[in-house]
Amino acid sequence: MAEIRNKMDHITKEQFNGIWNYYLSLESDLSNTSRYVEPSGQEEVHSFEFAKLIILSCTEVESLMKIICFELTNEEKGNIGEYKQVILGRFPNIVSAYVTISRLGKDLTPFAGWDTGHLQWWESYGLVKHRRGSEFERANYQNAATALSAVYVLIFYLAKICGFTFSDTESNYIHSGYAHLKLACAPSQELPDFITGKAGPVQNGVLKLSTTNDTDLHE
Protein backbone atom coordinates (compact mmCIF):
# COMPACT_ATOMS: atom_id res chain seq x y z
CA MET A 1 0.00 0.00 0.00
CA ALA A 2 1.24 3.48 -0.77
CA GLU A 3 2.74 4.73 2.46
CA ILE A 4 1.84 8.21 3.69
CA ARG A 5 4.11 9.40 6.48
CA ASN A 6 3.34 12.09 9.08
CA LYS A 7 6.01 14.29 7.52
CA MET A 8 6.34 13.47 3.86
CA ASP A 9 9.65 12.66 2.22
CA HIS A 10 10.36 11.89 -1.39
CA ILE A 11 9.55 8.30 -2.24
CA THR A 12 12.33 5.73 -2.48
CA LYS A 13 12.62 2.94 -5.02
CA GLU A 14 12.01 0.38 -2.28
CA GLN A 15 8.76 2.09 -1.31
CA PHE A 16 7.76 2.29 -4.96
CA ASN A 17 8.31 -1.45 -5.38
CA GLY A 18 6.06 -2.00 -2.37
CA ILE A 19 3.33 0.05 -4.03
CA TRP A 20 3.55 -2.08 -7.17
CA ASN A 21 3.42 -5.32 -5.18
CA TYR A 22 0.35 -4.09 -3.31
CA TYR A 23 -1.30 -3.30 -6.64
CA LEU A 24 -0.58 -6.86 -7.82
CA SER A 25 -2.29 -8.17 -4.68
CA LEU A 26 -5.41 -6.13 -5.41
CA GLU A 27 -5.31 -7.18 -9.06
CA SER A 28 -5.19 -10.82 -8.02
CA ASP A 29 -8.30 -10.29 -5.89
CA LEU A 30 -10.14 -8.73 -8.84
CA SER A 31 -9.04 -11.52 -11.15
CA ASN A 32 -10.35 -14.12 -8.71
CA THR A 33 -13.86 -12.64 -8.89
CA SER A 34 -14.04 -13.70 -12.54
CA ARG A 35 -14.13 -17.31 -11.35
CA TYR A 36 -17.66 -16.61 -10.12
CA VAL A 37 -18.91 -13.68 -12.21
CA GLU A 38 -18.12 -13.38 -15.91
CA PRO A 39 -17.62 -9.61 -16.22
CA SER A 40 -18.50 -9.16 -19.90
CA GLY A 41 -22.16 -8.18 -19.95
CA GLN A 42 -22.43 -8.31 -16.15
CA GLU A 43 -20.48 -5.19 -15.24
CA GLU A 44 -23.25 -3.98 -12.91
CA VAL A 45 -23.24 -7.09 -10.73
CA HIS A 46 -22.56 -5.94 -7.18
CA SER A 47 -21.18 -7.75 -4.15
CA PHE A 48 -19.33 -7.29 -0.87
CA GLU A 49 -16.12 -8.39 -2.61
CA PHE A 50 -16.46 -5.57 -5.13
CA ALA A 51 -17.23 -3.15 -2.29
CA LYS A 52 -13.99 -4.19 -0.59
CA LEU A 53 -11.98 -3.77 -3.80
CA ILE A 54 -13.48 -0.34 -4.49
CA ILE A 55 -12.64 0.91 -1.00
CA LEU A 56 -9.11 -0.51 -1.04
CA SER A 57 -8.39 0.70 -4.57
CA CYS A 58 -9.71 4.21 -3.98
CA THR A 59 -7.79 4.48 -0.73
CA GLU A 60 -4.68 3.63 -2.75
CA VAL A 61 -5.65 6.16 -5.43
CA GLU A 62 -5.79 8.86 -2.77
CA SER A 63 -2.41 7.83 -1.35
CA LEU A 64 -0.82 7.83 -4.80
CA MET A 65 -2.25 11.22 -5.67
CA LYS A 66 -0.88 12.63 -2.44
CA ILE A 67 2.58 11.23 -3.20
CA ILE A 68 2.50 12.46 -6.81
CA CYS A 69 1.51 15.97 -5.71
CA PHE A 70 4.35 16.07 -3.20
CA GLU A 71 6.85 14.87 -5.79
CA LEU A 72 5.68 17.61 -8.15
CA THR A 73 5.35 20.53 -5.74
CA ASN A 74 7.27 19.64 -2.56
CA GLU A 75 4.05 20.54 -0.75
CA GLU A 76 1.52 18.28 0.94
CA LYS A 77 -1.97 18.39 -0.53
CA GLY A 78 -4.90 17.12 1.45
CA ASN A 79 -8.02 16.53 -0.64
CA ILE A 80 -9.20 15.37 -4.04
CA GLY A 81 -9.79 18.94 -5.23
CA GLU A 82 -6.17 19.89 -4.55
CA TYR A 83 -4.92 16.66 -6.12
CA LYS A 84 -6.98 17.35 -9.22
CA GLN A 85 -5.64 20.89 -9.57
CA VAL A 86 -2.02 19.78 -9.36
CA ILE A 87 -2.26 16.61 -11.44
CA LEU A 88 -4.39 18.02 -14.26
CA GLY A 89 -2.37 21.21 -14.20
CA ARG A 90 0.79 19.22 -14.93
CA PHE A 91 -0.66 16.21 -16.76
CA PRO A 92 -3.85 17.21 -18.60
CA ASN A 93 -3.64 14.22 -20.91
CA ILE A 94 -4.02 11.70 -18.09
CA VAL A 95 -7.70 11.79 -19.04
CA SER A 96 -6.85 9.76 -22.15
CA ALA A 97 -4.64 7.16 -20.45
CA TYR A 98 -6.23 3.75 -20.90
CA VAL A 99 -5.78 0.13 -19.97
CA THR A 100 -7.17 -3.08 -21.41
CA ILE A 101 -8.98 -5.80 -19.51
CA SER A 102 -9.15 -8.78 -21.83
CA ARG A 103 -11.62 -10.66 -19.64
CA LEU A 104 -13.98 -7.69 -19.86
CA GLY A 105 -13.31 -7.29 -23.56
CA LYS A 106 -12.83 -3.54 -23.50
CA ASP A 107 -10.50 -0.67 -22.67
CA LEU A 108 -11.00 1.52 -19.60
CA THR A 109 -9.98 5.18 -19.31
CA PRO A 110 -10.24 5.73 -15.55
CA PHE A 111 -9.64 9.49 -15.62
CA ALA A 112 -11.84 10.27 -18.63
CA GLY A 113 -13.97 13.33 -17.95
CA TRP A 114 -11.99 14.46 -14.91
CA ASP A 115 -11.10 17.68 -16.71
CA THR A 116 -14.77 18.58 -17.15
CA GLY A 117 -16.37 17.11 -14.04
CA HIS A 118 -16.25 14.40 -11.42
CA LEU A 119 -15.07 10.80 -11.63
CA GLN A 120 -18.12 8.55 -11.41
CA TRP A 121 -16.23 5.67 -9.81
CA TRP A 122 -14.79 8.02 -7.17
CA GLU A 123 -18.25 9.31 -6.29
CA SER A 124 -19.45 5.70 -6.09
CA TYR A 125 -16.61 4.96 -3.68
CA GLY A 126 -17.84 7.67 -1.30
CA LEU A 127 -21.39 6.38 -1.48
CA VAL A 128 -20.36 2.74 -0.97
CA LYS A 129 -18.21 3.76 1.98
CA HIS A 130 -20.74 5.96 3.74
CA ARG A 131 -24.19 4.82 2.48
CA ARG A 132 -23.71 1.16 1.74
CA GLY A 133 -27.26 0.27 2.71
CA SER A 134 -28.91 2.51 0.14
CA GLU A 135 -26.15 2.65 -2.48
CA PHE A 136 -24.93 -0.95 -2.49
CA GLU A 137 -25.62 -1.36 -6.22
CA ARG A 138 -22.62 0.91 -6.83
CA ALA A 139 -20.38 -1.80 -5.37
CA ASN A 140 -20.17 -3.40 -8.80
CA TYR A 141 -17.53 -4.88 -11.06
CA GLN A 142 -17.36 -1.83 -13.33
CA ASN A 143 -16.48 0.52 -10.49
CA ALA A 144 -14.03 -1.93 -8.94
CA ALA A 145 -12.22 -2.50 -12.24
CA THR A 146 -12.10 1.22 -13.07
CA ALA A 147 -10.81 2.18 -9.62
CA LEU A 148 -8.06 -0.43 -9.82
CA SER A 149 -7.23 0.75 -13.34
CA ALA A 150 -6.74 4.23 -11.87
CA VAL A 151 -4.23 2.78 -9.41
CA TYR A 152 -2.38 1.17 -12.32
CA VAL A 153 -2.21 4.41 -14.33
CA LEU A 154 -1.08 6.48 -11.33
CA ILE A 155 1.72 4.02 -10.57
CA PHE A 156 3.12 4.41 -14.08
CA TYR A 157 2.85 8.19 -13.84
CA LEU A 158 4.67 8.11 -10.51
CA ALA A 159 7.44 5.99 -12.02
CA LYS A 160 7.89 8.52 -14.83
CA ILE A 161 7.90 11.49 -12.46
CA CYS A 162 10.54 9.94 -10.23
CA GLY A 163 12.62 8.45 -13.01
CA PHE A 164 12.10 4.91 -11.74
CA THR A 165 12.37 2.02 -14.17
CA PHE A 166 11.04 -1.35 -13.22
CA SER A 167 11.24 -4.40 -15.45
CA ASP A 168 8.85 -7.33 -15.62
CA THR A 169 5.84 -5.09 -14.99
CA GLU A 170 3.43 -7.20 -16.97
CA SER A 171 0.37 -7.82 -14.85
CA ASN A 172 -2.02 -10.71 -15.28
CA TYR A 173 -5.41 -9.01 -15.50
CA ILE A 174 -4.98 -5.34 -16.43
CA HIS A 175 -2.72 -4.65 -19.41
CA SER A 176 -1.33 -1.65 -21.26
CA GLY A 177 1.36 -0.66 -23.69
CA TYR A 178 2.95 1.41 -20.90
CA ALA A 179 4.47 -1.65 -19.23
CA HIS A 180 7.94 -3.09 -19.76
CA LEU A 181 7.34 -6.67 -20.85
CA LYS A 182 9.71 -9.46 -19.91
CA LEU A 183 11.42 -9.67 -23.29
CA ALA A 184 11.17 -6.02 -24.32
CA CYS A 185 13.72 -3.31 -23.66
CA ALA A 186 11.10 -0.55 -23.65
CA PRO A 187 7.32 -0.23 -23.40
CA SER A 188 5.44 -0.33 -26.69
CA GLN A 189 3.47 2.80 -25.84
CA GLU A 190 4.16 6.02 -23.94
CA LEU A 191 1.92 7.60 -21.31
CA PRO A 192 -0.12 10.42 -22.86
CA ASP A 193 1.63 13.24 -21.02
CA PHE A 194 5.12 11.90 -21.73
CA ILE A 195 4.89 11.83 -25.50
CA THR A 196 7.54 14.20 -26.85
CA GLY A 197 6.34 17.77 -26.69
CA LYS A 198 3.45 17.22 -24.26
CA ALA A 199 4.97 17.18 -20.77
CA GLY A 200 8.05 19.32 -21.16
CA PRO A 201 11.64 18.13 -21.42
CA VAL A 202 12.62 14.76 -20.06
CA GLN A 203 16.29 14.21 -19.35
CA ASN A 204 17.72 10.77 -18.61
CA GLY A 205 14.22 9.49 -18.06
CA VAL A 206 13.45 12.11 -15.38
CA LEU A 207 10.81 14.75 -15.92
CA LYS A 208 12.22 18.26 -15.65
CA LEU A 209 9.74 20.36 -13.70
CA SER A 210 9.21 24.04 -14.33
CA THR A 211 9.53 24.98 -10.65
CA THR A 212 11.36 27.96 -9.22
CA ASN A 213 14.29 25.74 -8.27
CA ASP A 214 14.10 23.68 -11.49
CA THR A 215 15.53 20.70 -9.61
CA ASP A 216 15.76 17.18 -10.98
CA LEU A 217 13.64 14.62 -9.18
CA HIS A 218 15.74 12.02 -7.45
CA GLU A 219 16.22 8.34 -8.03
Question: With contact defined as beta carbons under 8 Å apart, do 13 and 219 qualify?
Answer: yes
Global pTM value? 0.82
Average pLDDT over residues 24-44: 92
pLDDT of residue 160: 93
Average pLDDT over residues 143-169: 91
Query: How far is it, in rounded angstroms, from Cα 70 to Cα 169?
Result: 24
The total number of residues shown for the chain amounts to: 219
Sign of torsion, CA 118 75 211 12? Answer: negative
Domain parsing of the chain, residue ranges: 13-207
Query: How far is it, in rounded angstroms, from Cα 93 to Cα 77?
Result: 21
pLDDT digits (tens, 9 = 90+) for 69-96: 999 999 999 899 999 999 999 999 999 9
Directed axis angle between helix 13-33 and helix 141-162, to 10°?
Answer: 160
User: What DSSP state is assigned to residue 109?
Assistant: -
- DSSP conformation letters of 197-210: TTS--EETTEEPP-
Average pLDDT over residues 40-52: 92
Average pLDDT over residues 137-156: 96
Cα-based distances in Å from 18 to 11, 21, 199: 11, 5, 27
Q: Which residue has the higher pLDDT, 178 or 182?
A: 178
pLDDT digits (tens, 9 = 90+) for 89-144: 999 999 999 999 988 889 999 999 999 999 999 999 999 998 877 789 999 999 99
pLDDT of residue 84: 97
Burial degree of 93 (CB within 10 A; 0-12, 13-18, 19+) = middle
